[in-house]
Amino acid sequence: MPTPEQMIAAVHGYVAAFDAGDAEAAVALFAEDATVEDPVGTPAKIGHDEIRTFYTASMQTGAKIHLQGPVRVGEDYAAFAFQVRLNWEGKSSTVDVIDIFRFNADGKVAKMEAYFGPTNFGAAS
């Protein structure tokens, strides 16, 4: 099982990859058979190819991630709150999100779930 420090480092690596627009660096954090459900309730993206396609499209929006508070870890899970800032339909917008990563024994993200919905969208101030 990965250490808390390894899981926290992975979250920070994820944020850095997203902000750099580096889909390959993001994908490298995931296990080959990982699943990404973003947002929860949508069909899961399974495996590196689908995850890469998803992150490439997400990063092309110019969105940036800003952590809101510390990464929380327990057992093989890490949870973190963040705000996405992007231009959406010509307006500066925000989305408040909580992601949960479950790690495998090799320290790779095996499952990612993103929690947000219509009430979490707002105008950037």
Does the pLDDT of residue 88 top 90, yes or no? Answer: no
Catalytic residue among 19, 22, 38, 99: 38
Residue-wise pLDDT for 5-24, tens only, equals 999 999 999 999 999 999 99
Which whole-number Å values give the CA distances from 94 to 36, 62, 63, 102, 115, in the listed order? Answer: 21, 12, 9, 25, 14
- pLDDT of res. 37: 98
Look up the pTM and report it: 0.94
Architecture of the domain defined by 4-117 = Roll (3.10)
With beta carbons less than 8 A apart as the criterion, state whether 99 and 29 touch: no
Domain boundaries, the chain: 4-117
Q: Is 96 a catalytic residue?
A: no
Tell whether the model's pLDDT for residue 124 goes beyond 80.
Answer: no
Take residue 73 and report the two structure tokens written for it: 């870890």
**pLDDT tens-digit map of 31-41:** 999 999 999 99
Percent of residues, the chain, with pLDDT higher than 70 = 99
- Is 38 labeled as catalytic in the residue annotation? yes
